[in-house]
Structure 1
Amino acid sequence: MTEPQPTAPHRTDVRLAHTADLDPATLKAARTLLHDVFDDMTAEDWEHALGGLHALVHEDGVLIGHASVVQRRLLHGGRALRCGYVEGVGVRADRRGRGHGAAMMDALERVIRKGYDLGALGAADEAADFYAARGWQLWRGPSWALTPDGIRRTADEDGCLHVLPTPGRPLDLDTDLTCDWRDGDVW
């Protein structure tokens, strides 16, 4: 009688591609996936996920995971910082808990650490522990947005914003953080 052979651990392959390099079918699949993951996803939310690098996970030719990082400017301590802002992180419901989200974030965090002054994202309460375990830190200070009408407080976002410091860029997590303007949710 032979003993069963242990199965190899599942390996998730993540494809990184700029929005400009994705064909219309892939973009449509990503948008559909995110609409399935987030009940309240808006056209602006999808727009926010475009223009940067996408981390994509396919299984048998079907897109099951998406995340992206786009460049934004955040004001902190009197400086405008180049921020890798994470958007549209989602994994198909029947494929969650298998490391796909972590694999996508590994790829995006590498980009952030090497190409930006810091990373930032807005996290739902149920995702906060996932990001904290990866080294993302909760922003404790007040949040603001640079709007067409001047700098405005975004108190509803307080307690939801997380940052990923990069080497050599100390952050004071208890001070003001101001984001650049965009349509829809500013954070």
Structure 2
Amino acid sequence: MGAKIQVAHTSALDAEVLDRARQLLVDVFEGDWTDDDWEHSLGGVHVLAFDGASLVGHGAVVQRRLIHDDKALRTGYVEGVGVRSDLRGNGVGARIMTELESIIRAAYVLGALSSTEDALEFYARRGWRNWEGATFALTPAGVQRTADEDGGIYVLPATAHLDLAGDLICDWRDGELW
């Protein structure tokens, strides 16, 4: 598919485009897309795919700090990746991810994301590595285990040296921590 790709920071997108992106993700995730999920996608760089005037795909990378091996790693965290259902399998998602991965490699020491079951193979084929170790979150109450996330976190090493069997701690945010 010859979708037109637009790359822009949240601040460069008008409210109408952001509303369309949010609605696309509500549709893609069949209503399982919360206000917190949308908030997590803001403040970074968006990759938008258009078919004519129709927005058909979205992904974003935002900065987070992940802690591994006693180091806070500047991480490009991928959020809100989705493609309209009738266009899946046509390369739109791959084109969005290519742009996001390029941003990660240029600006961060690590890329990370939390994947749905349906997308695990997609990310693995792209070179994302499954985090094999235990996951945690740095919360207002201290470091807490996030065992439900084990096996669903994927990383894309840029320059960081990682022990994939080690512990990985994410920074705090409202809603889903990973």
Q: TM-score range by the shorter chain?
A: over 0.9
Q: How many angstroms does 1:127 deviate by?
A: 0.3
Is 1:87 aligned to 2:79, yes or no? yes
Instruction: Output the CA distance in 2 between the equivalents of 1:14 and 1:179.
Output: 30
137, 147, 164: which one aligns with 2:139: 147
List structure 1 segments (4+ residues) > 3 angstroms apart after TM superposition.
Answer: none
> Normalized against structure 1, the TM-score is what?
0.93
Matches within 5 A, 1:113-124: 113-124=105-116
Gaps of 5+ in 1: 1-9
Once the two structures are superposed, residues 45-66 of structure 1 have per-residue CA deviations (whole angstroms, 9 ceiling, x without a partner) of 0000000000000111110000
Is 1:126 aligned to 2:114, yes or no? no
1:183 aligned residue: 174
Matches within 5 A, 1:51-62: 51-62=43-54
Instruction: Output the CA distance in 1 between the equivalents of 2:130 and 2:156.
Output: 9
Gaps of 5+ in 2: none
Is 1:70 aligned to 2:83, yes or no? no
RMSD of aligned alpha carbons: 0.8
Percentage of pairs with the same residue: 55
Pick the structure with greater CA Rg: 1
Change (3 A) 1:50 1:42: same
> SS in structure 2 opposite 1:112?
helix
Instruction: Output the CA distance in 2 between the equivalents of 1:130 and 1:90.
Output: 12
Q: What amino acid maps onto 1:157 in structure 2?
A: E
The count of corresponding residues between Structure 1 and Structure 2 is 177
Instruction: Output the CA distance in 2 between the equivalents of 1:13 and 1:64.
Output: 10
> Normalized against structure 2, the TM-score is what?
0.98
3, 14, 17: which one aligns with 2:5: 14
Instruction: Output the CA distance in 2 between the equivalents of 1:36 and 1:160.
Output: 22
